[in-house]
Amino acid sequence: ARDNGINQEIKLAHNYVSNWEEMKANASGLLIWGDVGTGKSFFAGCIANALLEKGVPVLMTNFSRILNTLTGMHFEDRNQFINSLNRYSLLIIDDLGIERNSDFALEQVFNVIDSRYRSKKPLIITTNLTLSELNNAADIAHKRIYDRILERCIPVRINNRNIRQDNATANLKQAKKILLNNHVPNQN
């Protein structure tokens, strides 16, 4: 069952890329959600790489990086920077929800999403937030952001088992095997 999930997700990424012109024309993005470590960033990165190979300008970043850039900028420069993100045919924002939640941060997150929305260009978002959390935001500031995203981004749940955890478990098993099998009893 696990492989089916992965194959379905690979097929979906492939379909997004092979129907790129249509996705772009409709400003259709993806909202890739699921638990920590399930491969959401990897999935988004695969789409980015496939489109970059076709010569499509893609930027993959996150809000922590964007907010660091915007902090300390003048108002006009901020707008200019936010508009510059729309030069990319596809903007991928990784890990929505991990950035700080100050009023300034929320306002800038909204500005970036809204600017993208108005530019009529696709956006891919990855997040550990659940669809239910996105649909039932606790306050108006988050609701404005999530509503904009949900209006243009098709929700895709990445439902793999935790890849990082699986790798860690496999590595531990391997290390344990090496330690136990190579243990030579004292020869005295």
What CATH code is carried by the domain that includes residue 43?
A: 3.40.50.300
Q: Is the per-residue pLDDT at 58 higher than 70? A: yes
Q: Is residue 169 part of a domain?
A: no
The share of the chain scoring above pLDDT 70, in percent, equals 85
Q: Is residue 184 part of a domain?
A: no
Q: Is residue 171 part of a domain?
A: no
According to the model, what pLDDT value does residue 37 have?
84
Q: Is residue 177 part of a domain?
A: no
Q: Is residue 181 part of a domain?
A: no
For residues 163-168, average pLDDT: 60
Question: pTM for this structure?
Answer: 0.82
**Number of separate domains in the chain:** 1
Q: Is residue 132 part of a domain?
A: yes
Q: Is residue 40 part of a domain?
A: yes
Q: Is residue 188 part of a domain?
A: no
Q: What is the pLDDT of residues 138-165, one digit of tens each?
A: 899 999 999 999 999 999 998 866 555 6
**Residue-wise DSSP of the chain:** -HHHHHHHHHHHHHHHHHTHHHHHHTT-EEEEE-STTSSHHHHHHHHHHHHHHTT--EEEEEHHHHHHHHTT--HHHHHHHHHHGGGSSEEEEEEET-S---HHHHHHHHHHHHHHHHTT--EEEEESS-HHHHHT-SSHHHHHHHHHHHHHEEEEE-----HHHHHHHHHHHHHHHHHHHT-PPP--
Q: How confident is the model at residue 8 (pLDDT cuts 50, 70, 90)?
A: confident
20 Cα distance to chain centroid: 18
Q: What is the pLDDT of residues 79-119, one digit of tens each?
A: 999 999 999 999 999 999 877 788 999 999 999 999 999 99
According to the model, what pLDDT value does residue 170 have?
65
Domain around 35: 2-162
Q: Is the per-residue pLDDT at 28 higher than 60? A: yes
